[in-house]
Amino acid sequence: MNTLPGLPELKPSTLYCIGRNYADHAKELNNPVPETPVMFTKPSSCIIHDNGTILLPHGAGEVHHEAELVIAIGKTGKHIIREQAIEYIAGLAAGIDVTDRAAQTRLKEKGLPWLLAKGLDTFGPVGNFTPPGKPGQLEDIDVIMEVNGQIRQEGNTRDLLFPVTDLIVRLSALFTLQPGDLIFTGTPAGVGPLKDGDLATARIRHRGAELSSVTVNVAHS
């Protein structure tokens, strides 16, 4: 995809992803709660949009949904301070950090990078980006995953171990954030498998009002 939905002036750049950012999700996978954010990236070729299709790799084990709040960066920044972090946000969207959990488990055991579990084509659905909203909205966003109309995950950004502004501060201390970079901010508990024929929807809401959603099909590649 050449631009981000809702932000036609931005081309997707680096997809930064944060792992284990909700304590209840870290625990469900028997991971320790981290003292600093777990960071990894996905290629921009992961991105699909509403009505797209997640392609399950041939011979893959369990491929999991991870519903997440996704932040789009609107301008270049390095060493961003907390008080100014919100100024770098161009928009918010619902997204899914699709994960080949079986591959990730094998890679973790060998101490290898997660690219082959996280970075495949179609493994990054994102919905329409909406403005970041008033101060305080970022800290009260429901993150919801539905599969075939049933709720599988339901969390709120008030439970993030590292809040959005903290992630921008920490990422920009290490990397020059650029327009079109995305931050997948982590997933709440309830991750689970996606199967051929599933219809998967991630949503973000603020006090009952839907901000963004993305609905995708699931099929064998």
Check: CB of residue 151 under 8 Å from CB of residue 118: no
Check: CB of residue 5 under 8 Å from CB of residue 49: yes
Number of residue whose CB is nearest Zn ion: 97
CA-closest candidate to residue 40, choices 94, 92, 112, 91: 112
CA-closest candidate to residue 66, choices 158, 147, 166, 150: 147
Helical (H) or strand (E) element with 117: helix 115-118
Instruction: Copy the structure tokens of residue 135.
Output: 């101060």
What whole-number distance in Å separates Cα of residue 183 and Cα of residue 162? 12
Give the shortest CB-9-to-Zn ion separation in angstroms: 27
What whole-number distance in Å separates Cα of residue 155 and Cα of residue 104? 23
Give the shortest CB-69-to-Zn ion separation in angstroms: 11
- Residues 6 or more apart whose CB falls under 8 angstroms from that of 38 comprise 18, 19, 20, 21
Give the shortest CB-96-to-Zn ion separation in angstroms: 9
Give the shortest CB-160-to-Zn ion separation in angstroms: 12
Residues in touch with Zn ion (CB under 5 A):
66, 97, 187
Give the shortest CB-109-to-Zn ion separation in angstroms: 19
Cβ distance to Zn ion smaller for residue 65 or 206: 65
